[in-house]
Amino acid sequence: MAGEAPKKISLAEKFALFSDYWAPRLAARYNGNEVRLAKVAGEYHWHHHGETDELFLVIEGELDMEFRDRTEHLATGDLIVVPRGVEHRPCARSGEVKLLVMDADGTPNTGDEATAFKPVEI
């Protein structure tokens, strides 16, 4: 068997390692994808990802995912996949939200490499 032996990841332990908002942390990698954890509060900016879809899973809290034509409300345990090229704006209007976000390796969280927060591995 090649590579490292699989190890469980405790999301609660990983979330306890950071407190800043809109700054994703890299919890795992698989098949050229990154599993990112983020704490968010307030409104993010409008953006899109031209090359890849993006998956958001609400671990704790409530998130509004705004699109130009509607808003999808997500509660704990809900997920949404934003297709590539679709403009969106995540908003956490009711306090802190803990998210698991899945992106292709190296995808800038802002949609723009120049302004992106580089995920820190935890």
CATH code for the domain of 25: 2.60.120.10
Q: Into how many domains does the chain fold?
A: 1
Task: Name 1's bridge partners.
Answer: none
Q: Tell me: pLDDT of 107 over 80.
A: no
Mean pLDDT of the region 87-111: 89
| 2 in a structural domain | no
| 4 in a structural domain | no
| 84 in a structural domain | yes
| 6 in a structural domain | no
Query: What domain range includes position 63?
Result: 11-121
| 18 in a structural domain | yes
3-state class (DSSP) for residue 100: strand
Q: Are 40 and 99 in contact (CB under 8 A)?
A: yes
| 37 in a structural domain | yes
Summary mean pLDDT of the chain: 91
> What is the DSSP track for 50-84?
SS--EEEEEEES-EEEEETTEEEEE-TT-EEEE-T
| 43 in a structural domain | yes
What is the percentage of the chain residues whose pLDDT exceeds 70?
Answer: 90
Half-sphere CA count of 79, side-chain side, radius 13 A: 9
Min mean pLDDT across 20-24, 92-96, 104-108 is at: 104-108
Q: Are 63 and 97 in contact (CB under 8 A)?
A: yes
